[in-house]
């Protein structure tokens, strides 16, 4: 492991007259925690689940009974956003607590350098066991190749794959076995069954655990959802959002049927994990998070289903529920101030009374989690650094979200200003209207301040591609991951890597 990484686990000895010493386990000793251990963490990350597409969030179509119940046990961040609403950038920001312009991880299928200090490595220094299931999408060595332990960023137990959306025959690798395997049923069910087994086996461990359960649904293909769940959503009965134009209604209904079916099936799978945690009496010492890496447009504003990367709420806003030891009277509390992807890691560290490394750029808002205030406000910075693939034609952007407003700029100037409270479907752009001049100036100043804080000069996308030496495929306008299947793939990463 690179010397810049955190190495080992440090001894912490606290002497008190009325309690036992609290000693963390060092990897080279058999010393164990003798008093109350730090809380376990179970982080459930879904793929492309819109922040609005849940029963507790007000969606009249979808059935999510387990997550609806969990929302009454957790703190609900109603304006959680993805820092860059697409897979690899979100995951890199989540694991490092850093912004995409700082890590260079702003496009799919890049390799997150081994030198980056990541979530599992940090928690291991605090004595945690670490485990990962499902989609990774941070390895950059093709989407189906084996990922050796040294490239797993500190996760030890491992049943995962770089990327696949074949939910009914999902491939994965089992720890150090280099032979590819396949989950034997719909992947959310299979993955959570294995996670529940892990929970049962480690419930009484002396050290806490960090479990990261990465489920690939409800990302397309939507037609592949189990028929039982698709039958719950007759297309003609689905309510379509008012910002979906008539010419996309039919396609949107068709995709929503499978999308919601995946949501309901995934809700059932997640519910099994939540139930297992309760059955094992782990609730009082476990932090549980449910979230997603980004949303999707699903016809909104004339953007076809499957589209993300854009600054609209359908793309950027994600669910974020968090429960934690001692939540008590805060169960069901709502926080309208946004939480951004880089804020999550330092906030988890804050909730576990762990030191936040200097490399982390996100803000520790654990105090807001423990003292939820619906009237609190803050600024979340969103980055469209270099749109790629089908979004390549779209301009890059920087945006901010507060509890009420969204404001966006392209390199050519301001493009969007929405009051999301009065206009939840973002259909009335307030930009350059005289009565909102003061508000626009204030939001613009906040955006510039947020950019300055992370050292982002907001250059055209070509600047960032050149800075990090990224080459996009000329036809697909994305990093070439498919050539790995032919044996001639090339790793692209913020740091030089030998293939």
Active site residue 165: no
Residue with tokens 């100037």: 413
Instruction: Give the DSSP letter of residue 175.
Output: T
Q: Which residues contact 15 (CB under 8 A, 6 or more apart)?
A: 21
Q: What are the structure tokens assigned to 485, written together? A: 């299947």
Distance CA 127, CA 12 (A): 11
Q: How many other CB atoms are there within 10 angstroms of residue 480's CB atom?
A: 18
Do 292 and 344 form a contact (C-beta atoms < 8 A)? no
Distance CA 341, CA 278 (A): 27
CA atoms 367, 373, 378, 383: torsion sign: positive
Q: Which residues contact 250 (CB under 8 A, 6 or more apart)?
A: none
The number of residues making up the chain comes to 499
Catalytic residue among 90, 118, 137, 219: 137
Do 113 and 92 form a contact (C-beta atoms < 8 A)? no
Active site residue 137: yes
Partners of residue 409 on adjacent β-strands: 398, 414
Q: What are the structure tokens assigned to 478, written together? A: 């994305």
Residue with tokens 């080459």: 471
Residue 385 preceded by cis peptide, ω within 30: no
Active-site positions?
Answer: 87, 137
């Amino acid at each position: 492991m690179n010397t810049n990484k955190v190495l080992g686990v440090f001894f912490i000895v606290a002497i008190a007259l009325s309690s036992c010493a609290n000693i963390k386990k060092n990897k080279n000793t058999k010393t164990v925690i003798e008093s109350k251990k730090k809380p376990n963490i179970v982080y459930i990350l879904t793929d492309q689940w819109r922040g609005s597409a849940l029963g507790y969030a007000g969606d009249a179509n979808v059935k999510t009974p387990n997550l609806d119940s969990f929302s009454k046990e957790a703190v609900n961040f109603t304006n959680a956003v993805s820092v860059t609403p697409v897979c690899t950038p979100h995951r890199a920001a989540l694991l490092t607590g850093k912004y995409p312009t700082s890590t260079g991880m702003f496009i799919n299928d890049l390799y997150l350098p081994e030198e980056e200090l990541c979530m599992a490595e940090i928690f291991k220094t605090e004595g945690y066991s670490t485990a990962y299931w499902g989609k990774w999408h941070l390895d950059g060595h093709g989407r189906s190749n084996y990922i050796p332990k040294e490239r797993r960023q500190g996760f030890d137990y491992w049943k995962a794959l770089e990327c696949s959306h074949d939910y009914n025959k999902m491939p994965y690798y089992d720890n150090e076995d280099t032979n590819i395997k396949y989950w034997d049923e719909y992947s959310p069910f299979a993955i959570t069954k294995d996670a529940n087994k892990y929970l049962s086996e480690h419930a009484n461990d002396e050290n806490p655990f960090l479990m990261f359960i990465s489920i690939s649904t409800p990302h397309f293909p939507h037609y592949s959802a189990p028929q039982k769940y698709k039958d719950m959503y007759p297309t003609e009965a689905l309510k379509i959002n008012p910002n979906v134009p008539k010419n996309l209604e039919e396609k949107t209904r068709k995709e929503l049927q499978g999308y919601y079916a995946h949501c309901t099936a995934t809700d059932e799978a997640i519910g099994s994990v939540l139930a297992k945690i309760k059955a094992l009496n782990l609730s009082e010492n476990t932090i549980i998070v449910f979230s997603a890496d980004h949303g999707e447009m699903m016809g909104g504003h004339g953007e076809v289903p499957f589209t993300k990367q854009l600054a609209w709420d359908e793309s950027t806003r994600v669910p974020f529920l968090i429960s934690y030891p001692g939540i008590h009277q805060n169960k069901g509390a709502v926080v309208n101030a946004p939480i951004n992807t880089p804020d999550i890691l330092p906030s988890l560290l804050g909730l576990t009374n762990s030191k936040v490394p200097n490399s982390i750029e996100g803000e520790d808002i654990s105090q807001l989690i423990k003292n939820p205030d619906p009237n609190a406000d803050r600024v979340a910075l969103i980055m469209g650094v270099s749109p790629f693939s089908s979004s390549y034609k779209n301009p890059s952007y920087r945006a901010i979200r507060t509890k009420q407003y969204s404001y966006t700029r392209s390199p050519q100037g301001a493009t969007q200003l929405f009051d999301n409270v009065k206009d939840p479907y973002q259909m009335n752009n307030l930009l350059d209207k005289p009565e909102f001049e003061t508000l626009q100036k204030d939001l613009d100043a906040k955006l510039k301040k947020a950019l300055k804080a992370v050292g982002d000069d907001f250059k055209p996308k070509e600047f960032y591609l050149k800075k990090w030496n990224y080459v996009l495929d000329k036809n697909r306008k994305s990093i070439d991951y498919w050539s790995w299947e032919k044996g001639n793939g090339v790793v692209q990463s913020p740091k030089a890597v030998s293939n």
